[in-house]
Amino acid sequence: MRVVTAAVVGALCAAAWSMSFVPIGKSLCVGTSAMGCVGLIFLWVAPISAVVWAVVVWALLRLARWRPVWPTAVLGPVVSFVLALAAGLTAVGMRLRPSENDSVLVVTITTGIGYALAAAVTGGYGGRRDGAEHRGQDG
C-alpha cells in the first residue's frame, strides 16, 4: 500500500508539474524569441517548479503519515528523471512525434513508477530493529 500511495502522489504532482508549462510559457514568452522562450522555460522554470512540486510531494507524503518521508522525497525525483529521460530518448530514437498530451502522459507514468521504486527501495530505511542481528555475537 505504501508503494501505491507514493506512486499516486508522485504521478499526480508530476502531471500538474508538466501541465503547468503551457500557462507559464504563454505568460512569460510574450514578445521573446523562440530560443529565449525555450531557454527561459527549460533553464529556469522547469527546475524551479520541479523543486516546488517535489516539496509538495514531500508534504503530501508527510500528511499521509509516511515515515520516513525524506528518502522517498529525495530519491523519487531522481529515479523519475532518469526514467523520463530514457523514455524521451527512446521516443526520439524511434522517431515518434508525440503530442503535448502524450508527453504529459509519459511524464506522469514515469514519475509514478519512479516514486513507486523509490518507496520500495526506501521502505525499510530507518525502521525499528529488534536487535536480532546482534544476538549471540557477543564475545
**Full residue range of the structural domain in which residue 49 is found:** 2-123
Closest CA to 10 of 50, 42, 65, 47: 50
Instruction: Say if 136 falls within a structural domain.
Output: no
Asked if the model's pLDDT at residue 94 lies above 80, the reply is yes
Q: CA–CA separation, 113 vs 131, rounded Å?
A: 33
pLDDT of 123:
67
Instruction: Say if 67 falls within a structural domain.
Output: yes
Q: CB of 46 within 8 A of CB of 70?
A: no
Q: Give residues with Cβ within 8 angstroms of 50, minimum separation 6.
A: 17, 77
pLDDT band at 12 (very low <50, low <70, confident <90, very high): confident
Give the number of domains in the chain: 1
Model pTM? 0.66
